[in-house]
A and B are shown apart, each in its own frame.
Chain A
């Protein structure tokens, strides 16, 4: 009887230990999981509606946007303890296209389980990649061409495509605009942004968090640097910004385009 009681106490003690262990904050997190980064395009504080919605910039230019696409790359995640997980570079190229709902979430696989507090990513294709030529690009050229993001004339990529029509005080007829960024002879026009997550993204074998990023596309021309489409309306043919001194300014503007709205952990 005494022995049986001891046994029962021992079993209770052990099971209590086991239970407390699994509920402990220092739980051992192992394995890998998936993580999605959703790019939700907006114009200012409004959701982005393609083609029909008029959007006004701080320069009082009114834009109707028909196309917004960009290449996301070099995704790096930082855990709460500061350790860094770099997503495999050749698998980190995602083409985000507002017109294609299946494209707006960058789905990352085999991410080490953990609590992530920061995400960093590039917009475009970096200089190191250019210098390697085709090496490491996988099927990027194929996907880019299909998405209209291959900058064929220079064997490169369009990093950002922002197109539509606009009117302003000086341009009263609806006039096309096309903003394309990419590598030029003078600038790489690649940039990276780092975003803090308001709540931890808890990657587990059973949890695939989704980081909801809002991309305010107005910032492309209406950010730190204000670029008036009306000033680039070459001979009335439309505002075509695909090179020159405006591209580095637009690239700098991209740093202020992205914010994290929230993180889903389910």
Chain B
């Protein structure tokens, strides 16, 4: 009896203590490691320093369907980790109210090294990028006022915003910064190819894969440059124009004639997991992609000059080249990233 009474007296002390520490800013820095085979990052970490709690809040936001107008379609709805954060099996993705977009879901990985986002480079800052899918009527159709109201009424968001940011405010700035911290932290750098490049254990490529790497270096790296496998440029790669959509690509942003039908050169990392391919998901397999470059390139006023050298369209690729290339491309699959619990919804 006496002990019980004592406990009752002591218990509130504990509760109030833990409440205090739960509700204050926790500045636990999160290190951003640059793998030795990567170029320097472009993200401005000084403006949005990564913290463990900022990342945690960003992850919660990324997987929260309540941000969408239907309460279901979260970022993670289309960006599935197991498929390198793409929408497996969808040429174009569908959002709220069965709305269908015009482009294939791009991968989320190593975004801190990119200089622009979206297939047309509509935005140049990662923190602002979520505004596009969040507000798009056929994606999340979200409303900042409603999302902020929802979060302000939610106990776990009240707590997370307080511990993630010094000013603790539940507002659009902190929401976007948290999402930025989560996305920029999603790194893929431990594929067999990476280990090969860094001379690490497990970094062995077979003879076929090495031959594929040689073909890749000879014929692909002018666009898919560095170990990130993109030069962040916009190019027209000679796809037949899909009349139903007539997506003009980069032109939509610049209104410059030279940019018509140019799209961002994607990273090829984890490419074996991100089918279907191209900005509209038209090709179902890597074979189809290579066949396009070998024999399917269409000439046009804005076709990238690299695809019409010496009066010849496309890239000369033998059947052996293709087999070796695909074998090589499978070595950039990074299982650690695809299954990393830190990035997982559950």
Contact = CB atoms under 8 A, between A and B. Distances in A.
Contacts of A244: 255
Nearest to A152: B135
B121 interface: yes
Nearest to B134: A152
Contacts of B255: 184, 186, 243-244
Identify which of B131, B144, B250 gathers the most chain A CB atoms within 10 Å of its CB.
B131
Nearest to B167: A138
B128 interface: yes
B247 interface: no
A93 B129 CA distance: 21
Contacts of B68: none
B211 interface: no
Interface residues of B, number: 35
A136 B173 CA distance: 7
Contacts of A139: 148, 171-173
A133 B148 contact: no
Interface residues of A, number: 26
Interface in B125-153: 125-132, 135-136, 143-145, 148
A135 B253 contact: no
A134 B177 contact: yes
Contacts of B135: 145, 150, 152
B252 to A, nearest CB: 8
Contacts of A184: 253-255
A92 to B, nearest CB: 15
Interface string A147-188: 000101111100000000000000000000000000011100
A62 interface: no
26 contacts: A130-B124, A131-B44, A132-B44, A132-B47, A132-B125, A133-B48, A133-B177, A134-B127, A134-B128, A134-B180, A139-B171, A139-B173, A142-B148, A142-B171, A145-B143, A146-B144, A150-B131, A150-B135, A152-B132, A153-B132, A154-B123, A155-B125, A155-B131, A185-B121, A185-B253, A186-B254
Interface of A: 130-142, 145-146, 150, 152-156, 184-186, 243-244
Given A132-B125, A135-B173, A156-B123, 18 more contacts: A131-B44, A132-B44, A132-B47, A134-B128, A135-B47, A138-B171, A140-B172, A142-B171, A142-B172, A145-B135, A146-B144, A153-B252, A154-B122, A155-B125, A155-B129, A156-B128, A185-B256, A186-B256
Which 9 residue pairs are nearest across A and B when measured between Cβ atoms?
A133-B127, A134-B176, A142-B144, A141-B172, A155-B123, A155-B128, A134-B127, A152-B135, A133-B125
Interface of B: 44, 47-48, 121-132, 135-136, 143-145, 148, 169, 171-174, 176-177, 180, 250, 252-256
